[in-house]
Amino acid sequence: MTSILALDTSTDACSAALQRDEQVSSRYQLLPRKHNHLLFTMLAELLPDGAEAAGLELLAYSQGPGSFTGLRIAASAVQGLAYTLHLPVAGISTLACLAQGALRRGVVSAEERVLTLLDARINEVYWGLYAFENGLAVACQPDQVSAPADLPRDLLASGAGVVALGSGLAYLEALPAALQGSILRSESDQWPDSRDLLPLAELALARGELVDADAVQPVYLRNEIHWKKLSEQGPQQ
């Protein structure tokens, strides 16, 4: 197993996870608008002797979509560590992390598909459709952002069911009726956890999908006009 440090600050949940010597240690707290302080407290607990002494081989982070401010916190922390330690980085979709966590917790089975939905504010949702291959969440199509009613009515094959997860289920009744009818179960109280970035980071390593420090950046799925409107409503974190 590769020695990995993974960070997630993309939503109301903040977490850090360390995989080393076939052991996984993690910290997780659901506490919005405190991530900048929480994350560095978690890092101090997981790396008491400092990052340089941890023997890390890979860094991973939830690159988005998610909170504008939150995404920047994890990206900045990972970028700084990548520069200092000269390590490669795996940027993982927040929605993939959410699906992977549902599998780990037994909320879904490896045979089911998952529709991950995060509240994107201003009456929109971030969404992604995921299946599992060899126990790992794999995107059926690129992650997207849209109004709930604009999700494709033919997103699922005829008769196919899906498990829906995430804070975006607050807009469940606004989804297209055909899609609502295909939802087998829904779990709104699901948040990404950095420990679920670990297997996805190893997959990125195996596929050669890593970047260096210069290329670390959040994936917002929104243009500047959207973010201007969002900022007028106040911070998300």
For residues 138 and 90, what is the distance between their CA atoms, to the nearest angstrom?
Answer: 15
Token representation of residue 150 = 């604009």
Domain co-membership, 115 together with 81? no
CATH code of 65's domain: 3.30.420.40
Domain co-membership, 43 together with 70? yes
Domain span including residue 155: 95-187
Distance of alpha carbon 104 from the chain centroid = 14
- The H or E element that residue 147 is part of is none
Single-letter amino acid code for the residue at 225? I
Domain co-membership, 115 together with 181? yes
Domain co-membership, 105 together with 29? no
Query: Is 36 part of any domain?
Result: yes
Domain co-membership, 100 together with 183? yes
Task: Give per-10-residue mean pLDDT for the chain (237 aa).
Answer: 94 97 95 91 96 94 96 97 97 98 97 97 96 97 96 81 96 94 95 98 97 96 54 43
Q: How many domains does the chain have?
A: 2
Identify the sign of the CA torsion 204, 206, 209, 210. Answer: positive
Q: What is the pLDDT of residue 149?
A: 97
Domain co-membership, 129 together with 164? yes
Q: What is the pLDDT of residue 153?
A: 84
Query: Is 122 part of any domain?
Result: yes
Q: What is the pLDDT of residue 219?
A: 96
Domain co-membership, 89 together with 135? no
Domain co-membership, 147 together with 77? no
Query: Is 236 part of any domain?
Result: no
